[in-house]
Amino acid sequence: MGFPYTEEHRLFRQSFHDFLAREITPYMRQWEKERQVPREAWRKLGEQGYLCTWLPEAYGGSGLSFEYEAILIQEMAYQEVDIPVFLHSDIVVPYLWRLGNDEQKHRYLPGTTTGEILTAICMTEPGTGSDLAAVATSARRDGNSYVINGSKIFITNGWDADLFIVVAKTGNDPNPHRNLSLFLVEDGTPGFAKTKKLEKMGRHAEGTAELAFQDVRVPKENLLGEEGRGFYYLMQNLQQERLVAAIGATAEAEIMLQEALTYAKQRKAFGQPIGSFQYNSFRLAEMATEVELGRTFVEDLMLDHIQGNEIVTKVSMAKWWCTEMANRIAAQALQLHGGYGYMEEFPICRQYQNVRVETIFAGTTEIMKSIIAKQLGL
Ligand SMILES: Cc1cc2nc3c(=O)[nH]c(=O)nc-3n(C[C@H](O)[C@H](O)[C@H](O)COP(=O)(O)OP(=O)(O)OC[C@H]3O[C@@H](n4cnc5c(N)ncnc54)[C@H](O)[C@@H]3O)c2cc1C
């Protein structure tokens, strides 16, 4: 069964659509050129209640369920808004909510809903990405502190974030899955440095960063959850991360299909609309079928997720398939635009660049297939 959106969802979607069209979308191109989204944009999102909508009111949220977050992700994709709100609201802050103690929650959560505290998660290192258990950044206990040393790379929002969840090695158990822990590191902590804002193929406004930790001393109270449980916490939380990636990719595929259809109906060659050539009309028919398959699969999965059902296998399937599908749609939609598709001013050009990473981050296509194969008993 697909997702049953209600009238409230529709109204929420409309308000967010209008908000983006007024406050964000007109400036997005400029921010991409500047490689920077102003904090003011985050604050506006916060003022309107669009950050961490799911947090309880006591912490500044609206207590909304997951489908509202999905609507935000979709609408941002439809308007090509490339601000890592989903990373903050649906990936990082949930760790604080699920694992944080009262002190940590009261200290940080309200700021995450206003845009005063932006967050990032630091798993990947120059030497390891897919193989999380091989993280080398270390956190050594020293009295009432931990001392963190190491470096992280490709950290979305890393340049702008104020609070970082850092995955570090705290033990030497023969089972490497027992050696990781999560730490809260605030920007400005001595020894912590944002060393480089990385130049990328796309997603220029996301502030992807390289980070260094040199004898970064944090109080033991900055441990998030229990020591040695980090790997398991990551495995739990990565499910929603993968769902979010599948939702985003599918929404992007939907909008790219719409653009391709509009263009194929308007653009003429050899005296007729290019969409009327059978080759192109069949191609568009195939693209529409793929998008529909992705959408219904993702909506079904959203329902499972909201109902608290186990989604490990299906979400791995959705993550790889929907992101690969979005890349196929991007390539075909761009081809249908001819030379204009290669021009920056055409949305498809940027979308093509932006979707490329989606088969890589949040677990690569190959890692998703490994998880599925394992679940199949292979
Ligand atoms: C734009 C961007 C944003 C990102 N944001 C974040 C972030 O916010 N936080 C964070 O921690 N990380 C982030 N990442 C990192 C991302 O999650 C990693 O790049 C990804 O997990 C892959 O790790 P890797 O780059 O080290 O590649 P590797 O793990 O070295 O993999 C290289 C290739 O080998 C394949 N491979 C690896 N193992 C296997 C296997 N067992 N079987 C078959 N093939 C395999 C991979 O699929 C891949 O094709 C981001 C990356 C990018 C590019």
Whether residue 49 sits in one domain with residue 167: no
Q: How confident is the model at residue 4 (pLDDT cuts 50, 70, 90)?
A: confident
| Top mutation candidate among 83, 89, 124, 137 for ligand 1, by most atoms within 8 Å of CB | 124
User: Atom 23 in ligand 1: which residue has the minimum CA distance?
Assistant: 129
What's the 367 CA to ligand 1 centre distance in angstroms? 9
Whether residue 60 sits in one domain with residue 35: yes
Cα–Cα distance for residue pair 52/59, rounded to 1 Å = 10
The count of domains in the chain is: 3
Domain edge (last residue) among 226, 248, 271: 226
Residue 181 in any domain: the answer is: yes
Instruction: Answer yes or no: is pLDDT of 96 > 80.
Output: yes
Whether residue 322 sits in one domain with residue 213: no
Axis-axis angle for helices 312-336, 347-355 (nearest 10):
150
Domain enclosing residue 133, as ranges = 120-226
Whether residue 333 sits in one domain with residue 213: no
Domain edge (last residue) among 226, 241, 269: 226
Per-state percent for the chain, helix, strand, coil, to nearest 5: 55, 15, 30
The residue to which tokens 């690569």 are assigned: 364
Q: What percent of the chain has pLDDT over 90?
A: 99
Q: What percent of the chain has pLDDT over 70?
A: 99
CB 248 within 8 A of CB 358: yes
What's the 340 CA to ligand 1 centre distance in angstroms? 32
Closest atom of ligand 1 to 363 CA is 21
- The stretches of the chain forming alpha helices (DSSP H) are 7-19, 25-34, 39-47, 66-78, 85-86, 93-99, 102-114, 230-266, 278-306, 312-336, 347-355, 365-375
Structure confidence by residue, pLDDT tens digits, 162-193: 999 999 999 999 999 999 999 999 999 999 99
Structure confidence by residue, pLDDT tens digits, 240-260: 999 999 999 999 999 999 999
| Top mutation candidate among 92, 242, 361 for ligand 1, by most atoms within 8 Å of CB | 361
Q: Give me the mean pLDDT over the 352-357 stretch.
A: 98
The CATH number of the domain holding residue 286 is 1.20.140.10
Whether residue 355 sits in one domain with residue 248: yes
| Top mutation candidate among 89, 152, 154, 357 for ligand 1, by most atoms within 8 Å of CB | 154
In a 10 Å sphere around its CB, with 0-12 CB exposed, 13-18 middle and 19+ buried, how is residue 271 labelled? exposed
Residues known to be catalytic: 241
Structure confidence by residue, pLDDT tens digits, 48-73: 999 999 999 999 999 999 999 999 99
The CATH number of the domain holding residue 137 is 2.40.110.10
Whether residue 367 sits in one domain with residue 263: yes
Q: What is the pTM of this model?
A: 0.97
CB 16 within 8 A of CB 72: yes
The answer, yes or no, to whether any atom of ligand 1 lies below 6 A from the CB of 130, is yes
Cα–Cα distance for residue pair 178/245, rounded to 1 Å = 27
Whether residue 299 sits in one domain with residue 287: yes
Domain edge (last residue) among 170, 197, 226: 226
Whether residue 292 sits in one domain with residue 182: no
- How far, rounded to the nearest angstrom, does the alpha carbon of residue 221 sit from its chain's CA centroid? 28
Axis-axis angle for helices 230-266, 347-355 (nearest 10):
150
Output the CA torsion sign for 155, 156, 162, 168.
negative
Closest atom of ligand 1 to 122 CA is 11
Whether residue 149 sits in one domain with residue 65: no
Whether residue 191 sits in one domain with residue 104: no
Mean pLDDT estimate for the chain? 97
The answer, yes or no, to whether any atom of ligand 1 lies below 6 A from the CB of 154, is yes
- How far, rounded to the nearest angstrom, does the alpha carbon of residue 274 sit from its chain's CA centroid? 35
pLDDT of residue 2: 59
The residue to which tokens 């979400």 are assigned: 315
Whether residue 141 sits in one domain with residue 53: no
What's the 277 CA to ligand 1 centre distance in angstroms? 40
Closest atom of ligand 1 to 203 CA is 1
Q: Encoding tokens for residue 94? A: 């949930």
Structure confidence by residue, pLDDT tens digits, 104-136: 999 999 999 999 999 999 999 999 999 999 999
Q: Encoding tokens for residue 107? A: 């200290």
Q: Give me the mean pLDDT over the 339-363 stretch.
A: 97
